[in-house]
Structure 1
Amino acid sequence: MTRLSVEMLAADAPEPITSAGHAQLGIAVLAGIAVIVLLITKFKLHAFLSLTIGSLALGAIAGAPLDKVLLSFSTGLGTTVAGVGVLIALGAILGKMLADSGGADQIVDTILAKAGGRSMPWAMVLIASVIGLPLFFEVGIVLLIPVVLMVAKRGNYSLMRIGIPALAGLSVMHGLVPPHPGPLVAIDAVGADLGVTLALGVLVAIPTVIIAGPVFSKYAARWVDVPAPERMIPQRASEDLEKRPGFGATLFTVLLPVILMLAKALVDIVVDDPENPVQRVFDVIGAPMIALLASVLVGIFTLLRPAGFSKERMSPLVEKSLAPIAGILLIVGAGGGFKQTLIDTGVGRMVLDISKDWSIPALLLAWLIAVAIRLATGSATVATVSAAGLVAPLAADMSTTHAALLVLAIGAGSLFFSHVNDAGFWMVKEYFGLSVGQNIKTWSVMETIISVVAGGIVLLLSLVI
């Protein structure tokens, strides 16, 4: 961004709800983030409550009237949930359908039947990337780790050689590829194009997952050589089903939202006429909500019916899929409230004013901010929504592709070095039966590789597109 464009953005920005100077605002931001970190890590308070209290602390220290702080927070919460809440719910339903119908097992078994030996780590990356596309990270771990353990034991493979590629596939999808909540929130905050972000996210994800998965797993297996823990190997979830959906139908259902959203992006580029009937049709069917809704409806016939689900079993399945996402929705919504509080107190304008004389690229700044919040809070989602709120003003003068790259830079930074304040850290440790030190040498290093490699690719792409 040029200095002139930054100054124009600052001039056009809405008046903040406080007259605090940069120093006071800077202290307020640090204090607000510190409150969130302290409440999450020290007092083990839920992230929703921590973000809410942190937003109030930010506004109070910035000298803003409390009623306006409350309005900013509630507005941001409502806007964020309205923007991504339905998408998160539809994604949860699709993930539940995939798991309960046996479709996930069908994909796993089909790929594993054709893989073996040196190709097995690559098969695990493919499985995790495909299955993880519509699933939340924690759900993906619960679904895939038992498969990893069974493959490692049945084939006498090193657990890390099989497990790291699967974890890399899940993590990369979670941080870089919509319709996951983090990227969706960042897209909404930055005002990026979802189709372009999805296409570039896949482009960045492929080399990233190869390096952090199959390549790094060779070294991880040497550093930590442990067998699959017997106590963690469960029975297959779908053994009670009479039959399972076919591989092709399951794969089509999982990839349908991606196909529709990429088709919309392609038509927008080729046609480039908002009034054109073809583009208008694809703008509708490629909208995230319609794309995910279509996949859920198709899944009734391609996943549930072949598995023998009656009409009476479908409604309880949807209810069970929605219950676990209540916490995620609240965290994402509170993150949106925190973001709006940052904007309304003038922090966005402060970032513009301070960064206009810096030589640091906006994408690198976004990555560094996300890294700092990730290290402090342990939550990739909190890091994403907070960083997106801080750097969103920088996207106003960016091209469509660079705005999408800004989202990916934030997503890459949000994955940096998972450690003891991250729930995912403990899930992986317990499932794999590792010590804290072993988990840091494998899982934590893998997350750092993903963050650095993806961030580097994003910066390189910004120079050529």
Structure 2
Amino acid sequence: METNFVDVALLLASFFVGVAMKMPLLDMVNAIENGIGSTLGFLATVIALGTILGKMMEISGAAERIALSLQRCHWISSDVVMVLIGLFCGITLFVEVGVVLLIPLAFSIAQHTKTSLFKLAIPLCTALMAVHCVVPPHPAALYVTNKLGADVGTVIIFGLMVGLAAALVGGPLFLKLVGQRLPFKPVPVEFSKLTLKEEHNLPSLKITLFTVFLPIGLMLIKTVAELNSHTSTQLSHILGFIGNPITAMFIAVFVAYYTLGLRRNMQMGSLLKATEDSFSSIANILFIIGAGGAFNSILKASGLADSMAVTLSHLHMHPILLAWLVALILHAAVGSATVAMMGATAIVAPMLPLYPDISPEIMAIAIGSGAIGFTIVTDSLFWLVKQYCGATLNETFKYYTSATFLASLTALGCTFLLSHFI
């Protein structure tokens, strides 16, 4: 579970590795300090700005607008609708925050259609996890992309493809194969009276989608500009500045203040208060990421990461499979997809020069694909699904853990396929 003991355990593990590798004490402390600083120096701003975007989606009802619009597409089944909701809305939401914010939509659809809550919650949560792991500007995906020297725009484009395929297989397709064996789960009594906003109080679909996809669009502009410009020009510098993740998120936040707030007669004071309140939810996330950065720095500074890379390269395992497997095992062990991806990056990064034919973009997606899978009792998301669905421990293992593992396998297959083109 992603709680404070994970943060403390990572810091403790950092000191343990440093001592075990006989690092000088001052070098060990400096490595931990530099790891925390270099990691949070880039990601803290992106996380804070992403939190503001998520809060604006929450208070404006933007997520509900997307859900209502998708529900009107009668040719799309309700479980696929939940996948698309998770995919679109998950771009700007942390996975746990996304579940808490979007699960009332699943409650509403389940009550109106008399559908098992499992059939809606599992596709939603699987999609949120897939986007969280493979699509920047999510912090973990952005961290891996940055550390491996991959192009952000390329990872976004192909990450969205992989995330969609993984969520569809792990969600609707898996549940269709389960068929009548899937237990009927009504909306738990304690959640049955949650209400959604009135439709006339919601922002328009065009404004919502524009705001949600703006930061991704800005980052893609940089990638497209780099593909079409072989010389350094003033325009390329401007596009590079706009497409930087921090700049793109900063612009998107101020656009969201207007499109989802001021334009709908919200007061700037109330928006700033909502912004301030939203920051309390990211303290633990920052601590986890900082501790993960410290652990990675110790692995590198002590030489353990290089030793592990050499040892793993002798296993004669395909590097994509190896990156996926390391992230999968770490996620199951520590319960945090974010920490798993950061740890896998520290181990995989030294191996990249050994495999020049495999692009860093593919390796970034491979690591994210592994982190999607095997969501078990160590992960807070496992318990959220169990609680919201009113499921037993065995049922959550049987259906949700299996769904995330299938999604992870699908993402791995897609990554192998994409490796022939990137």
Contact 1:223 1:441 in 2 (8 A): no
Look up the equivalent residue of 1:150 and give its one-letter code. Answer: S
Contact 2:53 2:256 in 1 (8 A): yes
Counterpart of 2:405 (choices 431, 445, 448) is 448
Contact 1:224 1:438 in 2 (8 A): no
Contact 1:173 1:205 in 2 (8 A): yes
Shift of 1:353: 3.0
Tell me the residue number matched to 1:154: 112
Distance 1:379 1:402 in 2: 26
Distance 1:45 1:329 in 2: 11
Tell me the residue number matched to 2:148: 190
Distance 1:448 1:229 in 2: 26
Give the RMSD, CA atoms, in angstroms. 2.1
Look up the equivalent residue of 2:241 and give its one-letter code. Answer: V
Tell me the residue number matched to 1:61: 20
Distance 2:282 2:143 in 1: 15
Contact 1:115 1:123 in 2 (8 A): no
Q: Residues 290, 280 of structure 1: CA spacing in aligned structure 2 closer, same or farther, 3 A cutoff? A: same
Q: Residues 339, 150 of structure 1: CA spacing in aligned structure 2 closer, same or farther, 3 A cutoff? A: same
Shift of 1:308: 2.8
Tell me the residue number matched to 1:51: 10
Q: Residues 221, 68 of structure 1: CA spacing in aligned structure 2 closer, same or farther, 3 A cutoff? A: farther
Look up the equivalent residue of 2:239 and give its one-letter code. Answer: F
Distance 2:264 2:393 in 1: 40
Look up the equivalent residue of 1:163 and give its one-letter code. Answer: A
Tell me the residue number matched to 1:366: 323
Tell me the residue number matched to 1:459: 416
Counterpart of 1:215 (choices 168, 173, 179) is 173
Q: Residues 218, 243 of structure 1: CA spacing in aligned structure 2 closer, same or farther, 3 A cutoff? A: same
* CA deviations over 1:311-366 (Å, ceiling 9, x no partner): 21021111111111011011101101100100000023213432454422222211
Of all paired residues, the percent bearing the same amino acid is 32
SS in 1 for 2:88: helix
Whether 1:91 aligns to 2:50 is: yes
Counterpart of 2:262 (choices 287, 305, 325) is 305
* CA deviations over 1:90-117 (Å, ceiling 9, x no partner): 000000001011222222222223336x
Counterpart of 1:201 (choices 154, 159, 169) is 159
Q: Residues 318, 222 of structure 1: CA spacing in aligned structure 2 closer, same or farther, 3 A cutoff? A: same
Distance 1:185 1:360 in 2: 25
Tell me the residue number matched to 2:187: 228
For structure 1, the 5+ residue unaligned runs are 1-39
Whether 1:265 aligns to 2:223 is: yes
Counterpart of 1:250 (choices 193, 208, 211) is 208
Look up the equivalent residue of 1:182 and give its one-letter code. Answer: A
TM-score, structure 2 as length reference: 0.94
Counterpart of 1:276 (choices 212, 225, 233) is 233
* CA deviations over 1:63-82 (Å, ceiling 9, x no partner): 11222111101101100001
Tell me the residue number matched to 2:273: 316
SS in 1 for 2:93: coil
Distance 1:160 1:424 in 2: 14
Distance 2:219 2:98 in 1: 22
Moved more, 275-284 or 142-151: 275-284
Shift of 1:133: 0.8
For structure 2, the 5+ residue unaligned runs are none
Distance 1:399 1:81 in 2: 29
Distance 2:346 2:236 in 1: 31
TM-score, structure 1 as length reference: 0.86
Shift of 1:302: 0.8
Larger Rg: 1
Q: Residues 45, 254 of structure 1: CA spacing in aligned structure 2 closer, same or farther, 3 A cutoff? A: closer
